[in-house]
Amino acid sequence: MSSLWMSIEPTPQYTRLLLSRSSSGIALKALLPPTPAQPKALALLLEALVAWYSLPLTAVLDADAQDVHLHPEIWADWLGDLTSPQVSVAWGAPPPSKSSHPADRERERFFAKLGDYARAKRLISFASGGLP
């Protein structure tokens, strides 16, 4: 069965999102403001993606991110208002990066303007299967 995986990588400048579908790979990349304007916005976004695809979603929050370290209770509140049983959230940290093959970058040239999502990919890989 197919499912969705989303990495949530907060930084001081923005929050980077990477949505991946298990059966077909990357489905969405986004750079959002560092924090949501409304407390329920993150939960609503995750639930909307479940409704859009009609697939279960696992969101992985980068627990090593500076803002998550400084304010874990805020991130827990933002992710705690989920009403859909098809959305689950994991807190995780990716293993150290490995150098990527040039062919990997070529496949994603369409999304290149949004920046390097290597950390987000490692976060999803680690959370979904424990693999670096």
Residue 20: exposure state from Cβ atoms within 10 A (0-12, 13-18, ≥19): buried
Structural domain boundaries, residue 36: 4-127
Both structure tokens of 47: 């639930």
* CATH number of the domain encompassing residue 79: 3.30.420.140
Mean pLDDT to the nearest integer, 32-39:
92
Specify the residue for token string 């090593």.
64
pTM of the model: 0.71
Question: Quick check: is 38 in a domain?
Answer: yes
Question: Quick check: is 132 in a domain?
Answer: no
pLDDT at 96: 64
Both structure tokens of 104: 């990997």
Specify the residue for token string 């705690």.
80
pLDDT at 108: 59
pLDDT at 127: 73
Question: Quick check: is 123 in a domain?
Answer: yes
For 5, phi then psi, to 5°, come to: -130, 130
Q: Are 81 and 39 in contact (CB under 8 A)?
A: yes
Mean pLDDT to the nearest integer, 35-41:
92
The residue type of 29 is K
Summarize pLDDT for 54-82 with one digit per residue, the tens.
999 999 999 988 889 889 999 999 988 78
